[in-house]
Amino acid sequence: MGYSTIALHCVLAFLFLAIIPVNGDVSYSVPEEMKRGSVIGNIAKDLGLDLRRLSARKARIDAEDNSVQYCVVNLNTGELIVQERIDREGLCAKKASCVVKQELVLENPLELHRINIRVQDVNDNSPQFKEESLKIEIQESAVKGARFLLGEAHDGDIGENAVQGYSLRQNDNFKLNVNTNAGGRKYCELVLDKELDREDKKEIELLLTAFDGGSPQRSGTVVIHVTALDANDNVPVFTETPWCSFCFAGVVLVLRMASFLRKIHCLLICHTDFHL
């Protein structure tokens, strides 16, 4: 009995939806972050609706799937107006296509029009590194051409508005190598161009910049602190000082006295043996 009732309700719901006239869709393309009150388009004109009948037919905008109602219709002008902030990154993250679906509902008689709003990315995010600074320790024995992975910066935007490249502030020891991974994202490596000498300079500060391809272009930076680790590349050298000279002279004198005493000792032994 219960299953029959549920089945009947499903059939009735299907029939109800089937008899609702769903006329042609209408599509608009808008940049994200449009100000509230901005005009998307004249939906009455685009759908060929009688402007004078919009109010009488209680024209309104509904959101599909109980989502946010991003726009409203002006019953006097027939214009579709932005009502809520449209954040592409919040809606679609990194998806290439981002579509907000709304419906125009008219009564007397009931009539539906689907509205597809394609949200275009704008360059509203700057590239960012995970850390404000990076610390790298490199043996001063590292040879020219040695590479050190720096990773990548992240950008909330997509396409040309995402990270497009990196640059390294000019310095004496390093250059930058930029690569693209399997996912199409760019990352960079630090390449040793001149061998390090800790005795000359043990700390080096570099500035790495990531930039996107938007207009205006946005960028982000990170400071890289490089520490040259000591290698056993210096032979110990004695530096002669007056104190060392005095010590050396003392050692020589002691050795000479020891030699003299040994000679006296030998003479005494020989003299004793002779008289015996």
Q: Is residue 4 part of a domain?
A: no
- Order of strands, edge to edge, in the sheet holding 219-229? 133-139, 219-229, 203-212, 163-168
Structural domain boundaries, residue 187: 128-229
Q: Where are the beta strands (DSSP E) in 92-173?
A: 99-106, 111-120, 133-139, 147-151, 163-168
Write down the pLDDT at residue 231.
75
Write down the pLDDT at residue 152.
92
14 pLDDT band, cuts 50/70/90, is: very low
Q: What pLDDT digit, counting tens, does each position of 88-110 carry?
A: 999 998 898 999 999 999 999 99
Write down the pLDDT at residue 84.
95
Q: Is residue 105 part of a domain?
A: yes
Picking from 229, 245, 264, the residue at the C-terminal end of a domain is: 229
Looking up residue 30, the CATH number of its domain turns out to be 2.60.40.60
Write down the pLDDT at residue 234.
59
Write down the pLDDT at residue 13.
44
Same domain, 89 and 141: no
Q: Is residue 132 part of a domain?
A: yes
d(CA 71, CA 115): 10
Structure-model confidence comparison of residues 66 and 221, the more confident one: 221
Same domain, 116 and 132: no
Same domain, 133 and 224: yes
- Please determine, for residue 8, whether its predicted confidence score (pLDDT) is greater than 60: no
Same domain, 70 and 146: no
Picking from 187, 213, 229, the residue at the C-terminal end of a domain is: 229
Q: Summarize the confidence of residues 205-224 as an average pLDDT.
A: 96
Alpha-carbon 274 to chain mean position: 99
* H or E, element range at 258: helix 242-275
What is the identity of the amino acid at 173? N
- Which residues touch 218 (CB under 8 Å, ≥6 apart)? 123, 125, 126, 127, 211, 212
Same domain, 140 and 220: yes
Total residues belonging to the chain = 276
**Residues 168, 175: contact at Cβ < 8 Å?**
yes
Picking from 69, 90, 120, the residue at the C-terminal end of a domain is: 120
238 pLDDT band, cuts 50/70/90, is: low
12 pLDDT band, cuts 50/70/90, is: very low
- Please determine, for residue 40, whether its predicted confidence score (pLDDT) is greater than 60: yes
Q: Helix or strand or coil: residue 267?
A: helix
- Please determine, for residue 233, whether its predicted confidence score (pLDDT) is greater than 60: no
Report the b/e string of 31-59 with b at 16+ CB within 10 A.
ebbbeeebebbbbbebbebeeeebeebeb
What total of structural domains would you count in the chain? 2
